[in-house]
Amino acid sequence: MACESEAACLVPADSARGNLTMATLSLSGIGKRFGGHIALSDVSLEVRSGEFICLLGASGCGKTTLLRIIAGLEQHDHGEILLEGRDLSAVPCHQRNIGMVFQSLALFPHLNVADNVAYGLKMQGVDKDSRQRRAAELLALVGLAGFDTRAVASLSGGQRQRVAIARALAQEPQLFLMDEPFSALDAGLRDRLQQEVKKLQQALGVTTVFVTHDQREAMALADRIVVLNEGRIEQAASPAEIYQHPASRYVADFIGDNNLIDIQVSGQRVQIGASELVVNDAAMTDRQGSQLLSVRPEQVNVSAIADHHDGLTGQLIMQRQVGALVEREIEVNGQLIKQTCFHHSAGGFETGQPVAVSWDWSRVWVVPA
């Protein structure tokens, strides 16, 4: 049963209230259509108790739809949602014991800060002293002690975000949902709030699902990242695993900067364009034939050709310094290979000169078909 409005999520039923305890979320075979458009197709996911999950993907991939289905703001067509073993499929959103921070924040402009935080408690009939005490505790927790009587309109963007977070935690939810809450903030403030939210989540231990289209944000926050593409999960893994071992071409291309290189593998020989290399890494050569190689720019080494022994050479066609880093593009057998390195280790190469290109084969990755 889907709720008709986001505001309904802010008014939990008395029976749903409890302590802020960790809970396991289980999604099995979730599907959703909007007319002829398939928004989600057979999505299954286990979110462990106390885990911080980021749903990551481009616009239209289904991440916000999935979050709204978990919250009860949309009704899925088929599949099962369990929160700590309780089937939520027919449970309205205000009875799910879920706290949610919306992209729009949905703060009430006619209420002061404390009354916004305590809104759900008031609707439950909690007495005034208790809800004011709870609001003060939560405002102190999010760094807004003393802001109780401030008008919402007088707050900065970051302060409003904190109020929305405090309000979502007021009912001591089993599950905490956040829908791109920092997308409208400038980069510096966004970074600070990311750090604060992560520390808060770790301190409280609340199971959290966070939606973002910003891969850097997902890498900074998540215990696991769930990469969605056209309504399906492409990969669900730790940030390090997704970055170092992408499970598909989409993930390899979407997460971070990457060199995706077509290769031909025959025994221990790897053909890259007109160049043939001998590779002694068994993990690299266990797949034969046409393959796609994922090489992160920081794994690429550039050296003088005289010092090079494996035969891969190219022409340095662009380089620039960005802060402490040097970024380069080298044309190798008709395709561009990007390199990133620290300025102090960049070497003295001139744009236009021939260079040797190499990498540690044990640290690169053949993308699964």
Q: What is the CATH number for 13?
A: 3.40.50.300
For residues 339 and 199, membership in a common domain is answered with: no
The whole domain housing 141 covers 6-250
123 inside domain: yes
Into how many domains does the chain fold?
2
In 3D space, the residue among 303, 286, 276 whose CA is nearest the CA of residue 365 turns out to be 286
User: How confident is the model at residue 182, as a pLDDT?
Assistant: 85
Considering only CA atoms, give the Rg of the chain. 25
User: How confident is the model at residue 18, as a pLDDT?
Assistant: 40
Token couple for 253:
């291309």
Identity at 182, one-letter amino acid code: F
For residues 239 and 262, membership in a common domain is answered with: no
pTM given for the model: 0.86
For residues 192 and 122, membership in a common domain is answered with: yes
**CA dist list (Å): 215 to 6, 56, 181, 195:** 26, 7, 14, 15
> What three-state secondary structure class fits 186?
coil
Token couple for 58:
């481009």
**CA dist list (Å): 56 to 48, 138, 229, 241, 363:** 18, 28, 9, 15, 25
Distance (Å, whole) CA 75 – CA 102: 18
1 inside domain: no
In 3D space, the residue among 304, 303, 279, 288 whose CA is nearest the CA of residue 364 turns out to be 279
For residues 130 and 244, membership in a common domain is answered with: yes
Among the three residues 250, 277, 295, which one is the final residue of a domain in this structure? Answer: 250
For residues 329 and 199, membership in a common domain is answered with: no
Q: In what order do the strands lie in the sheet with 354-358?
A: 301-303, 354-358, 313-322, 325-332, 335-342
User: How confident is the model at residue 16, as a pLDDT?
Assistant: 36
For residues 234 and 363, membership in a common domain is answered with: no
128 inside domain: yes
Distance (Å, whole) CA 124 – CA 122: 5
> What three-state secondary structure class fits 213?
coil
The pLDDT of 286-303, averaged and rounded, is 92
With a cut of 80, say whether residue 294 has pLDDT above it: yes
For residues 243 and 262, membership in a common domain is answered with: no
Among the three residues 220, 250, 280, which one is the final residue of a domain in this structure? Answer: 250
With a cut of 90, say whether residue 238 has pLDDT above it: yes
For residues 82 and 205, membership in a common domain is answered with: yes
For residues 118 and 215, membership in a common domain is answered with: yes
Among the three residues 205, 227, 250, which one is the final residue of a domain in this structure? Answer: 250
For residues 292 and 157, membership in a common domain is answered with: no
Q: How confident is the model at residue 11 (pLDDT cuts 50, 70, 90)?
A: very low
Distance (Å, whole) CA 235 – CA 222: 14
Distance (Å, whole) CA 209 – CA 83: 13
Distance (Å, whole) CA 268 – CA 288: 9
Identity at 289, one-letter amino acid code: G
CATH code at 354? 2.40.50.140
For residues 223 and 267, membership in a common domain is answered with: no
For residues 55 and 111, membership in a common domain is answered with: yes
**CA dist list (Å): 225 to 51, 57, 213:** 11, 10, 11
Instruction: Read off the pLDDT of residues 206-228 as tens digits, 9 standing for 90 and up.
Output: 999 999 999 999 999 999 999 99
